[in-house]
Amino acid sequence: MSRGSNTWRRGPLCLWFALLPGMAQHESAAQEQETHTVAEIQVDLASAGAEISPLLFGHFTEMTLTSFEGGVSNEWLFNRKFGIDESGETDKLIVLRSGTGAGWTPLTQDTAVTLALDKNVHFSAPFAQRLTLLDAAAGPAGVWQSGFQPVLKHLTPLKRVPYPFRFKAGTTYRVRLAIRQGNDPVSVHVGLGTAADALAAETTIAPQGRDWVVVERLLTPMRTVEDGRFLVCIREPGTVWIDSLSLTEDGKDDGGFRKDVIELTNQIMPTILRWPGGCFADDYDWRDGIGPVDRRPVTYNRAWKSFTPNDVGTDEFIHLCRRLRAEPYLCVNYGTGTAEQAAAWVEYCNGAASTPGGRLRTQHGHPEPFNVRYWNVGNEIYLPNEFGSTSGRDYGRGFRRFAEAMRAVDPGIRLVAVGCFDLAAEEAARAQRDPEQWQLLRYFHDWTRGLMEEAGDQVDLISIHFYDPGGVEKAQSREHVNQLCMAPALALEERLDRLQELVRSLAPAGKHIPIALDEWATWAQNESNLTEIEVSKEADPAGIGLDGSLEMLRSALGEATIMNLMQRRPADFALANKTLLYAYAVGEIGIRRDALHVSPCGLMMQLYATRERCRAVEVRTVCDSFKVEPLRPHDATRHVPELDASARIFENGEAELFVVNRNLEAPVSCRIALRGVAGNSVEVAVLTADSVLARNAFARPDRVRIETSSIPLESDAVLLHTFPKHSLTRLRFKTGVAPAPQTPK
């Protein structure tokens, strides 16, 4: 093990603190022998640097990654608008059509019963469910659903796994549906139970004319149903159309979202939310997501090859942001959209009630402007699989068109341009020698240069996405993957320096363009040992993730080092959005109909998040380091310091020091000098668990948890503290000084 200095020259004031007494001798001794020495951290609380933006503690949501449907949404039904037909439901050569949509099953199959998805008569496009019964003796004509959990598309082609309803006795459920009668009006029956003749709750809706009518009823089961079904049917001859069905637990709704999820999310304290994507955004028409929820069309997003009912649109997303006290951050469609379409969205959100967009917003119940400040123009347009993908120079020209149109509506918005880490010269040359690799990376080379030369005067922030270590080959050992996940901040900082040097050289004189790190995470995809990490023990492989989020402590610690990097370099980062707040199996919050838990990554963000204004404090760290071999042959071997730290001070004089112990095998003893500290104790909050691979689950929501305590502070402002192995620690204390307030940006 080697001795290294974990020092950052690009801190807020570029301060260089003198080494603590005796530190040089410690280093010399460590170099002579392989022993584990006492680490040292020095914090000068009297010197505060640049302000840390509260928007660094934001999160990312994407429409088709189960962030909403099957996530924070309060809706229980899958394919509630019948917009997903039977395509892909079977691989048989001769397809036997059931006459209903994906996820729905005919209640009765008989010659006297006809079911059909009707594209000519519907309440919400593209289909409504038509029910026809010719003979009452044949039994009811209808459809039922037993409940599903939407999943990520790579888990199953059907994008859902069975998750049967459990209806509790005495609990009230709210049912809503649109109905249109045929020539022979009939009553419509809606029930909860196990079969049409074994219902625990039922309501009958009498005929109400030939026009579409939306009916809402409350159902309270008289007994608990463990393997429940939701069913709709007619029992007498006739024809009826049903559409836009809804099933929710009464009293749990908050603007279409779950109250309990919102309450738990508020503990994580997101400060800004990015939506609707992601790749989803560049094939999304925002106009599909406004107006009455039940009348919105079901649309197909080609980027994710998934359908969305558009139940969450602009109005709902803004409502969610308001409930979370989070700044809304919208990503406009650059790929298949137009500058005019984006400008119309700005007007819908920010225009006065007298403007066309403002009048439309007012009609939907929101006369006051939403005042959305941050707008992202496109997503990852440098990727050849992205709609609208092109070169940085061509994107720069397009960005200028969008910027001029959007600012003509609201000059006060801040526009975020798509950026990327350019390939270094040797990387580009190596990629060009491999036709397949160059086909994938051809737009990366000189992307940011092209953007800046074409539209640098229009860019307020540059969007960067960062997932590290990325695709992990099955040949990698778990130990190696664990080590790689401890070092993402080192890789990010190396690329960041190169990018910002380029941006500074091309920006208009005097203009500072910071980074919007609006997608980021420690990402170890395709790990060979995934199924061994206590997943197969708790859930059937077909229902992987039903026991909770798969996010592990390992990811949380790696991501904490990225938070530390942003806090050490606050002038370089304006906002950030951690991936993903809500998502099946990989969300920061694990969500099931009847249970919730916070993942280690969510707990990590909870420790850092603040809405209070604070400024960065320079930290000097000297500690042992360990060697990590590269993932790819052309990468360099990294020497990773065991301790990674950042500090901040608030206007009231309170200060916080964050320390990640990357040592996966042993605790690290540390001597911490706090210049300017006041008081005689320090509050300690530690995020850790028995294993770096530990994760939380519905049955064990606190295996990874935050433990708090208070420890005494020595009179000479020196704290001797031992950081547990693979842990994140936040030390909070009072100081004798308060930094001068800064003028809001």
Asked whether the CA dihedral 434, 436, 440, 446 is positive or negative, the reply is: positive
| 649 in any annotated domain | yes
Among residues 210, 231, 249, the one where a domain terminates is 249
Say whether both 44 and 117 belong to one domain. Answer: no
Do residues 346 and 314 touch, judged by C-beta distance below 8 A?
no
Distance, in Å, from the CA atom of 178 to the CA atom of 745, rounded to the nearest integer, reads: 49
Statement to judge: residues 112 and 240 lie in one domain: yes
Length of the chain: 745
Measured between alpha carbons, how far is 676 from 717 in angstroms, rounded to an integer?
8
Residues 259, 251: Cα–Cα separation, whole Å: 9
Cα 96 off chain centre by:
39
What is the CATH classification number for the domain harbouring 648?
A: 2.60.40.1180
Residues 6+ apart with CB under 8 A from 72: 257, 258, 261, 262, 265, 320, 582, 591
Whether 14 and 137 share a structural domain: no
Tokens linked to 569: 């370099």
Angle made by CA atoms 587, 588, 590, in degrees to the nearest 5? 65
Number of H helices, E strands in the chain: 13, 38
Task: Tell me the backbone φ, ψ of residue 444, rounded to 5 degrees.
Answer: -65, -40
Return the residue matching tokens 């199953």: 156
Residues 149, 230, single domain; the answer is: yes
Contacts of 598 (CB under 8 A, 6+ apart): 264, 267, 268, 588, 589, 590, 606, 696, 701
Tell me if 173 is assigned to some domain: yes
Assigned token pair, 606:
């909870």
Last residue in a domain, options 203, 219, 249? 249
Sign of CA dihedral 519, 495, 575, 48: positive
Between CA 32 and CA 15 the distance in angstroms is 29
Residue 343 belongs to what H/E stretch? helix 339-350
Count structural domains, the chain. 2
State CA 322 to chain mean position distance: 17
Residue 310 lies in a domain: no
User: In angstroms, rounded to a whole number, what is the distance separating the alpha carbons of residues 27 and 15?
Assistant: 21
Tokens 């429409």 -> residue = 63
Backbone angles phi, psi at 249, to 5 degrees: -85, 125
**Residues 22 and 114 placed together within one structural domain of the fold:** no
Asked whether residue 602 is domain-assigned, the answer is: no
Phi then psi dihedrals of residue 682, to 5 deg: -130, 130
Any domain includes 117? yes
Tell how strand 595-598 and strand 461-471 pair up: unpaired
Of 227, 249, 271, which one is at a domain's C-terminal end? 249
Which residue, among 242, 144, 129, 137, has the nearest Cα to 193 in the 3D structure?
Answer: 144
CB-facing half-sphere around the CA of 551: CA atoms within 13 A: 32
Question: Do 47 and 110 fall within a single domain?
Answer: no
Residue 32 lies in a domain: yes
**What is the 3-class SS of 484-516, one letter each residue?**
HCCCHHHHHHHHHHHHHHHHHHHCCCCCCCCEE
Same domain (yes/no): 32, 109 = no
Pairing of strands 327-332, 374-377: parallel
Regions of the chain with pLDDT less than 70? 1-36, 88-96, 471-475, 525-545, 634, 737-745
Three-state SS for 69-86 is HHHHECCCCCCCCCCCCC
- Can you give the CATH number for the domain in which 146 is found? 2.60.120.260
Task: Please return the burial class of 571, using the count of CB atoms within 10 Å of its CB with bins 0-12, 13-18 and 19+.
Answer: middle
How far the first Cα of the chain sits from its last, in Å, is 45
Q: Quick check: helix, strand or coil at residue 3?
A: strand
Quote the domain boundaries for residue 720: 2-51+615-735
Query: 47 with 124, same domain?
Result: no
Strands 225-234, 188-195: pairing is antiparallel
Pair type for strands 515-525 and 414-418:
unpaired
- Tell me: do 109 and 245 sit in the same domain: yes
Nearest Cα residue to 78 out of 101, 96, 99, 97: 101
Same domain, 620 and 714: yes
Q: Cβ(357)–Cβ(286) under 8 Å?
A: no
* Distance of alpha carbon 745 from alpha carbon 734, whole angstroms: 26
- Kindly tell me the sign of the dihedral angle through the C-alpha atoms of 432, 434, 435, 438: negative
649 exposure class (CB count in 10 Å sphere: 0-12, 13-18, 19+) = buried
d(Cα 605, Cα 597) in Å, to the nearest integer?
14
| In contact, 331 and 379? CB cutoff 8 Å | yes
518, β-bridge pairs: none
pLDDT value for 544:
62
The pLDDT score that the predictor gives to residue 528 is: 44
Closest CA to 595 of 42, 166, 15, 37: 166
Cβ proximity of 398 and 418 under 8 Å: no
Tell me: do 216 and 117 sit in the same domain: yes
Runs of H (alpha helix) within 4-52: 23-32
Give DSSP secondary structure letters for 548-579: -----HHHHHHHHHHHHHHHHSGGGEEEEEES
Is residue 489 a contact partner of residue 564, using CB atoms and an 8 Å limit?
yes
Angle between helices 259-268 and 600-608 (to 10 degrees): 60
Which string of DSSP letters, residue by residue, matches 401-457? HHHHHHHHH-TT-EEEEE---PPPHHHHHHHHTSHHHHHHHTTTTTHHHHHHHHHGG
Same domain, 110 and 243: yes
- Please answer whether residues 220 and 171 qualify as being in contact, where contact means their C-beta atoms are separated by less than 8 angstroms: yes
